[in-house]
Amino acid sequence: MSSRQQAVHRYMDAFRRSDHEAILALLTEDVIWHVHGVRTTQGKAEFDSEIENPAFEGSPVLNAERTIEAGDVVIVTGTGQGHHREAGGSRFAYSDLFTFRGDLIAQVDSYVVPLGTP
């Protein structure tokens, strides 16, 4: 596993624990996070505010099923579960594309597809 793939899996592990410090340490200062069709954040402060989105309770369950690397990009696909404060539990499929600048993540493109309730 490459150092970039290791960094992405540390990121995923930190997200499972809602470990802000560990996640932010892997990002550039000007990081961009596109959750396509939902929102875009720019910079570490905005990114930090979305790690534990106030509309959700607890940390997500994330099952990484495939990791692919090409050039400066590492892609992780999988499934997960979360708990929305108003809508309740939900399952989803995801594909996250991590674009690196050097050893740090400069952009995350997240594609999330709802799969229904658990």
* β-strand partners of 65: none
Average pLDDT over residues 109-114: 94
Strand 27-35 to 104-116 pairing: parallel
At residue 52, the 3 state secondary structure works out as coil
- Dump the DSSP string for 22-51: HHHTTEEEEEEEEETTTEEEEHHHHHHHHH
Q: Which domain holds residue 7?
A: 3-116
Q: What is the pLDDT of residue 118?
A: 61
Number of domains in the chain: 1
Segment among 14-18, 53-57, 70-74 with least mean pLDDT: 53-57
Indicate which CATH number applies to the domain containing 12.
Answer: 3.10.450.50
Q: What is the pLDDT of residue 60?
A: 82
Q: What is the pLDDT of residue 4?
A: 98
* 13-49: pLDDT as tens digits: 999 999 999 999 999 999 999 999 989 999 999 999 8
Q: What is the pLDDT of residue 31?
A: 98
- Tell which residue, 33, 78, 32, 87, has the closest CA to residue 56: 87
pLDDT bracket for residue 8 (50, 70, 90): very high
